[in-house]
Amino acid sequence: MAREKWREVGRRIEAMSLRERLFVFVAAVVVAVALVQILMIDAVQGRVQNAEERLQSAEAARLQIDSQRELLAGQGRGDPDRAAREALAAQEARLTLLNAQLETRGHSLVPPERMAQVLKDVVGGKSGVRIVGFKTLGPRPVSLPDAPEGSPPGFYRHGFEITVSGSYADLVAYLEHLEALPWHLNWTEATLDATGRPDLKLTLIVHTLSLEEAWLRV
């Protein structure tokens, strides 16, 4: 079918004059050139469009980076010591909390001017128990947890050593009475001496905490 059409076209061209054949040839060339140009233009336009899209993406990324850079620069100019100040504020808040906790606990501790006298009164008020020795211990500075090296103590530990004498039952009653007091008296050591039986000697090392170095006054 296609061959017949081409043969028909060939016969028509052969029937044309030389001038008509020339026109047909020129028209065919023009059409072919036009098709080639259209195809080339489409390809070039596709490449141009892709290039433009890549340029737009790159420009958008550049603008975003510039914006972030300006934001960071503005933060640095506005508050260059922000991190240091925030760390200092956190430490101060922590110290304030510790001081408040210590002050709260201080209401239940023996006042400095009464600590020794309170224990003497307790011993004197218990029949069969008498004091045979008493001495104060020097204050010990206690640093706050995670405190920088060289920082001042957070509080002080004050203590004394007291020795009482009495029967076993009297000493047990004495300790129970001490524990029932409204103050928090902490003892780290307790030594019982039974060489003088029937009387026993009990030596206690008692301590408490304070914000002041000169806390215990006898």
Q: Say which CATH number the domain at 189 has.
A: 3.30.70.60
Among 102, 89, 197, CA closest to 156: 102
**Residue 122: per-residue pLDDT:** 63
The pLDDT mean for the chain works out to: 69
Mean pLDDT over 174-201 rounds to: 80
Task: Please give the pLDDT value at position 91.
Answer: 67
**Considering its fold, how many domains does the chain have in total?**
2
Residue 43 scores a pLDDT above 60: no
Sheet containing 200-210: give its strands across.
130-142, 155-166, 200-210, 186-193
With a threshold of 0.85, does the pTM exceed it?
A: no
Mean pLDDT value across residues 120-126: 63
Indicate if 147 and 199 belong to the same structural domain: yes
Shared domain check, 125 and 32: no
Kindly state whether residue 84 falls inside one of the protein's structural domains.
no
On whether both 54 and 109 belong to a single domain, the answer is: no
**For residue 211, what are its two tokens?**
């914000």
Same domain, 37 and 110: no
Mean pLDDT of 59-75: 65
Tell me, what's the pLDDT at 44? 46
Are 106 and 200 within one domain?
yes
Residue labelled with tokens 């029932």: 180
The most distant pair of C-alpha atoms in the chain lies apart, rounded to whole Å, by 155
- The whole-number pLDDT of residue 172 equals 86
Question: Is 106 in the same domain as 197?
Answer: yes
188: confidence class by pLDDT, cuts 50, 70, 90: confident
Assess if residue 96 is contained within a domain. no
pLDDT band at 42 (very low <50, low <70, confident <90, very high): low
Residues 129 and 194 in one domain: yes
pLDDT of 5 > 70? The answer is no
| Residues 117, 46 share a domain | no
Residues 55 and 111 in one domain: no
pLDDT at 124: 62
Per residue, the 3-state secondary structure of the chain, as one string, reads CHHHHHHHHHHHHHHCCHHHHHHHHHHHHHHHHHHHHHHHHHHHHHHHHHHHHHHHHHHHHHHHHHHHHHHHHHHHHHCCCHHHHHHHHHHHHHHHHHHHHHHHHHCCCCCCCCHHHHHHHHHHCCCCCEEEEEEEEEEEEECCCCCCCCCCCCEEEEEEEEEEEECHHHHHHHHHHHHCCCCCCEEEEEEEECCCCCCEEEEEEEEEEECCCCCCCC
SS (HEC) of 40-90: HHHHHHHHHHHHHHHHHHHHHHHHHHHHHHHHHHHHHHHCCCHHHHHHHHH
The whole-number pLDDT of residue 7 equals 67
Domain assignment present for 82:
no
- Asked if 199 and 113 sit in the same domain, the reply is yes
105 shares a domain with 38? no
In a domain, 128, yes or no: yes
Query: Quick one: 131 and 197 in the same domain?
Result: yes
pLDDT tens readout for residues 125-182: 566 788 888 888 878 887 766 666 666 666 777 788 889 898 888 888 888 877 777 7
* Residue 200 located in a structural domain: yes
Q: Hey, what long-range contacts does 148-156 have (CB within 8 A, 24 or more apart)?
A: 154/95, 154/98, 155/102, 155/209, 155/210, 155/211, 156/209, 156/210, 156/211, 156/212, 156/213, 156/215
Q: Across residues 66-73, what is the average pLDDT?
A: 67
Classify residue 150: in a domain, yes or no.
Answer: yes
71 lies in some domain: no
Which is higher by pLDDT, 85 or 40?
85
Q: Is the pLDDT of residue 20 over 70?
A: no
φ and ψ of 150, to 5 deg: 90, 0
Residue 160 inside a domain? The answer is yes
Residues spanned by the domain of 182: 101-210
Q: What percent of the chain has pLDDT over 70?
A: 34
